[in-house]
Structure 1
């Protein structure tokens, strides 16, 4: 962000997910093999100007959340135990910035605090920037969306009493942002009734801090996962989003560079190729010279190394990568990719092998690149975990 402004996030994640059904709270349900809350945290951690993320969880979920943080490498997250209601949980999250809390010392107080739901994974940096900038000007801001259905009020006998003019009202969405002192002051003053039955943070800022929030029209994908069918919709949106971005990494050998260039040309009509560059020798050599040892401890070390290298190349688990290497007679080692693929899949990384028969004859080289591009596009689009560790040949 422009200027010095410390921005932090509070994610209330203590809900039990009754409307979703089942015994697992919705924030911990897997979406493409990864807990939903981890997807939301990843969205915030991609934003370089956010300093801290406080996740407020039910006491019985603390160990589960610690495991998620450790497994998926979340770096900015602090945990706080939640209260019995949403507002009490948010209040506990705010307290983490001004006093020691049950799971750690106090954090540095931000100028702006963003309130978001753990089950809204599709927030992007542009939306966060809009709501933060408006907050610095108005003291508070929140995203809204047009009402899809007309709101009606029934009478005590179950008949229609009146309806609202849909054009004059909006649905309140997340994220919402506040000057920290505005929201914290409001929570210090609000009643037990507000804490137990209220749902709207913007209302508390207005009622107790006299701050009229700026309302911003948000994008259509700010909805939250509420019902079981929403999990399938979330999977579809995530799969569609990550299948459109690609990073191609090649080693320095001429044959690999040629294949990489042709893959780039063939793939860019279907996928946004964000990067195409010659990768570090350490990264390329790792893939083809460390597959012979299948001992569990060795595989775990190498899977961590692979993930670190991908992140260093600005790839990562939700950023598709194609690594091209002229591997010579490495077929035997490459065939052992299956065990490594099983290990890295625990970190939501799907690893496949594709051998492209290289030919110096131009038409055959181009034909091989086209076939390889078709296979790569299918793998990226489908993200089929059943195929991880398989070696395909063009």
Structure 2
């Protein structure tokens, strides 16, 4: 029986966010931001194990109590200088459990509002897919191309454009191979595309956004509060 494993790369500093504390440890509703991404994965009945990939010199992780997330969570201090390197190192750590045909879900540490419905939809829709795929949402806003003076050069068509999210879900063997061959991509799907394959787009939810700037924390908190009320 095929299993589902998750990897959360969390070795970055979040330079666009600013501040001395890495973005993933910024406070959100009384907990570090990364807690919510990990909690969503650990709560999911399909996910058997979760590896969070930390920087070797991370000094924040041990300041928190993660026991409430349960037995699925394992922290490894093998993060690299790029996302792809961290994910590759996480895949090596997962080699003790994962087989080539098992599924791996790679999720951003700074996407705290991932819903269980989206997670289950991703697993269900990709169950028999030969490639794998990603959560994504169709682009709704009008897109403008800027010139060098930061003025509008032209309006771009949004037809067929989707905004990539995470988790991104691929077979363990495939993901290990394509990331080793194509480490330059900004996400896992980019490496799969560079290998000549076409990941499937699974429609997600706009609430599953990535916290990038301090103002995003307030929106994330409002979304989480709404989810809590619904769950109750």
Please report the TM-score for the alignment, with normalisation by the length of structure 1: 0.54
Q: 1:161 to 1:230 in 2, by over 3 A?
A: closer
Q: Determine helix, strand or coil for the equivalent of 1:136.
A: coil
Confirm or deny that 1:236 pairs with 2:222: yes
Q: 1:131 to 1:57 in 2, by over 3 A?
A: same
Distance in structure 2 (CA, Å) of the matches to 1:155 and 1:232: 32
Contact 1:134 1:214 in 2 (8 A): no
Deviations 1:77-100 (A, max 9, x none): 2223211011111111111122xx
Structure 2 matches for 1:3-152, cutoff 5 A?
A: 4-61=1-58, 63-70=59-66, 72-80=68-76, 81-98=78-95, 106-109=96-99, 111-138=102-129, 139-152=131-144
Distance in structure 1 (CA, Å) of the matches to 2:66 and 2:150: 51
Contact 1:42 1:74 in 2 (8 A): no
Equivalent residue, structure 1, for 2:201: 215
Alpha-carbon distance, 1:155 to partner: 4.8
Distance in structure 1 (CA, Å) of the matches to 2:145 and 2:223: 34
Deviations 1:11-68 (A, max 9, x none): 111221222222111211121211111122111111122111111112222x532443
Structure with the bigger percentage of strand: 2
Distance in structure 1 (CA, Å) of the matches to 2:73 and 2:31: 17
Deviations 1:134-163 (A, max 9, x none): 333222111111224333444557665544
Structure 2 matches for 1:166-181, cutoff 5 A?
A: 166-181=158-173
For the aligned residues, what is the CA RMSD?
2.2
CA radius of gyration, larger in: 1
Structure with the bigger percentage of helix: 1
Equivalent residue, structure 2, for 1:355: none
Distance in structure 2 (CA, Å) of the matches to 1:37 and 1:140: 25
Aligned length: 229
Q: Determine helix, strand or coil for the equivalent of 2:19.
A: coil
Alpha-carbon distance, 1:240 to partner: 2.5
Higher relative contact order (CA 8 A, sep 6+): 2
Contact 1:37 1:121 in 2 (8 A): yes
Q: 1:159 to 1:122 in 2, by over 3 A?
A: closer
Q: Determine helix, strand or coil for the equivalent of 2:86.
A: helix
Unaligned ranges ≥5, structure 2: none
Please report the TM-score for the alignment, with normalisation by the length of structure 2: 0.87
Distance in structure 1 (CA, Å) of the matches to 2:166 and 2:231: 26
Alpha-carbon distance, 1:165 to partner: 0.6
Q: 1:72 to 1:66 in 2, by over 3 A?
A: farther
Distance in structure 1 (CA, Å) of the matches to 2:199 and 2:40: 24
